[in-house]
Amino acid sequence: MAETGAFYHLFPEARSVETSVVDARPGMVRLEILPFYPGGGGQLSDRGTLRSQKGVFPIAGMEVVDGAIWVRLADEAVLLDGVLEAAVDTGFRQEMRELHTGTHLLNALVFSAFDGALVTGAQLGADGSARLDFDLPGADNDAIRALEGPLNDLIVQDLPVRTHLLSMDEVLAEPGLVRSKSVAPPPGPDGLIRIVEVVGLDRQACGGTHLSSTGASRRLRIQKVENKGRHNRRVRIAFD
């Protein structure tokens, strides 16, 4: 099924959008069209600004209130209304898209090389790095570090990245779509789960923003492999 829904999923490269205020309170606003990724799944929320007749206001993040996503403003006193221009920090968005796509490539390599090892944690950083934690008891850390070459080979291959939607029953019927050991992917308002596919390599449930092809990423290096307890291996990647 083709993807529908969130603006930031449908138009991940959009720089700005004209939208209207649905509700507001001092320092917070709810928008008719939300271009900002609100954060989740280890990915940071977008940065950006709201422009109105009152001026240009940097955003400070997003907050869910009674099931609705509100945009928090850096100026906690301002009250906005009417029509706004919501502008995404496209440089930061691009960095998040590259890192998130890179974690999928690393995840696919580890899943294949280590008998379906599951993810136990993930976090993208604002410093151009990301980390994935894997359930890998007894794994050879040098064997994990050796995945850096194959990781960058996948970037060079410029594999298409596509998204589509499946029902929960379809997700559970296909082994490997859920890669987290403890967290199930939440369905959207339509009850469907978003699947990110690196064509010819990997399919998994994910709600983040990604590149349209792997070749749009910079090279990545495996910065560090750490033992975190008896089972966990923490793998840090960063731009080369």
What CA–CA distance (Å, rounded) separates 164 from 161? Answer: 11
Sign of the C-alpha dihedral computed for residues 79, 65, 122 and 166 taken in this order: negative
For 10-34, letters b (16+ CB in 10 Å) and e give: eebeeeebebebeebeebbbebeeb
Query: pLDDT, tens digit, for every residue of 83-120?
Result: 999 999 999 999 999 999 999 999 999 999 999 999 99
Banded pLDDT at 188 (limits 50, 70, 90): confident
Band (pLDDT 50/70/90 cuts) for residue 1 is low
Q: What is the CATH number of domain 7-88?
A: 2.40.30.130
Please tell me the distance from the alpha carbon of residue 33 to that of residue 18, in angstroms, as a whole number.
8
- Multiple choice CATH, 93-239, 2.70.98.10, 3.30.980.10, 3.30.70.20, 3.40.50.2300: 3.30.980.10
User: What gap in Å lies between CA 210 and CA 161, rounded to an integer?
Assistant: 8
Instruction: Scan for tokens 């359930």, then name that residue.
Output: 135
The confidence band for 2, taking pLDDT boundaries of 50, 70 and 90, is low
Q: What mean pLDDT value characterizes the chain?
A: 93
Query: Percentage of the chain with pLDDT > 90?
Result: 80
pLDDT at 48: 98
Closest CA to 178 of 115, 170, 9, 188: 170
